[in-house]
Amino acid sequence: MSHIIAPSLLASDFANLQKECEMINNSAADWYHLDVMDGVFVPNISFGIPVIDFMNRHAKKPLDVHLMIIQPERYINDFKNVGANILTVHIEASTHLHRTLQSIKQEGMQAGVALNPHTSVDLLEPTLEETDLVCMMSVNPGFGGQKFIEGTYRKVERLRSMIDKAGLDTKIEIDGGVTSSNARKLIDCGADVLVAGSFVFKAENPTQTIADLKKI
C-alpha cells in the first residue's frame, strides 16, 4: 500500500480556510490532519470543534483529528458529531487509555494514540491491539515549523517491529518536521502516514509539494 499524506491545517491560511480545503480536495493528499490544542497540555491554542465542523462541510477526504488536550475522553462524541474519522489522543494525557480507545471505536471512529518525543514506544504494548494508528511526534508538540528530531527513526523501527510481531495492521504516523529530505527514510523505517504542515502550506506550489511527497 502506498504511504498516506496528511497535510496539517495548523499551517494553513485561516483567513482562506475554504480555499485551503479545496486545495487539499484537489491534491494528491489522502487525509486532513487537524491539530486541536488547549493551551494546557501543550503551550499553544489552535482551533476546536466549530472550526472542524466548518472544514467538514468542505472536506472530501477523511479528517484525522489529533487531540493535544487534557481529558480528551470528555469530547469523543463531540468530535464524532463534527465529522472526525480518526481520533487520536495522547498517551501522556489519557489516564484510562484502554477505555478511551474503546469509546472512540464505539463511536465508529478509528482510534489513535500519540506519543511525545520523550515517550517510549514500549508503553504502547498493552493497548496496541486496540490502536488503529500511532501518531509519533517528531517535534515537541505545540507549534509548527520545528526541526525534525533525528531519534525518531529508531522509534519508528522499534514500533514497526512491535506491530509486525503482533500481527497487527496498526498504522504509524509521523507528525512534525516532515520534508522531502526525510520522507523516504521514514517510510523505509516503517512509517505509513506522513503529516506535513509548514513544508506544504509555505511552499510556492502546495499542490505540487503534496504530489512530490506522495511519489517519494
- Options 38, 64, 132, 175, the catalytic residue: 175
- Options 30, 35, 132, 192, the catalytic residue: 35
Clarify whether 175 is annotated catalytic: yes
Clarify whether 122 is annotated catalytic: no
If phi > 0 it is left, if psi is from -120 to 50 it is alpha, else beta; for residue 187 that is alpha
Written as one string, the DSSP assignment of 174-188 is: EESS--TTTHHHHHH
From the centroid of its chain, how far is CA 158? 19
What cell numbers appear for 141 in the block?
Answer: 508538540
What does residue 171 show for φ and ψ, rounded to 5 degrees?
-85, 145
Residues with a catalytic annotation lie at 35, 175
